[in-house]
Amino acid sequence: GALIISNVETAGSVIAVEASAPEHPTELFRLDGDSFTRWTQHNPWLSEIDFGEQRTFRYTARDGQEVEGVLIEPVGGVPAGGAPLILNVHGGPEAHDSNGWQTAYSKPGHVAAGQGYAVFLPNYRGSTGYGTAFSKQHTGNYTDPEFTDLVDAKRALV
CATH number, position 88? 3.40.50.1820
- Same domain, residue pair 43 and 54: no
112-118 mean pLDDT: 97
- Same domain, residue pair 71 and 99: yes
102-117 mean pLDDT: 95
- Same domain, residue pair 57 and 41: no
- Same domain, residue pair 138 and 63: yes
Euclidean distance between the first and final Cα of the chain, in Å?
Answer: 27
- Same domain, residue pair 105 and 33: no
The residue segments making up the domain with residue 20 are: 4-47
Structurally, how many domains does the chain consist of? 2
pTM over 0.85: yes
pLDDT, tens digit (0-9, with 9 covering 90-100), for 120-156: 999 999 898 998 888 888 888 877 899 999 999 999 9
- Same domain, residue pair 66 and 8: no
Angstrom distance (rounded) from CA 10 to CA 12:
7
- Same domain, residue pair 92 and 151: yes
DSSP 100: S
Which residues are within 8 A (CB) of 95 and not within 5 positions of it... i.e. 6 or more apart?
A: 127, 128
- Same domain, residue pair 75 and 148: yes
- Same domain, residue pair 76 and 20: no
- Same domain, residue pair 43 and 105: no
**What does the pLDDT read at residue 7?**
63
Give the confidence band of 6 by pLDDT, cuts at 50, 70, 90. Answer: low
Give the confidence band of 9 by pLDDT, cuts at 50, 70, 90. Answer: low
**What does the pLDDT read at residue 10?**
61
Angstrom distance (rounded) from CA 125 to CA 33:
38
- Same domain, residue pair 68 and 28: no
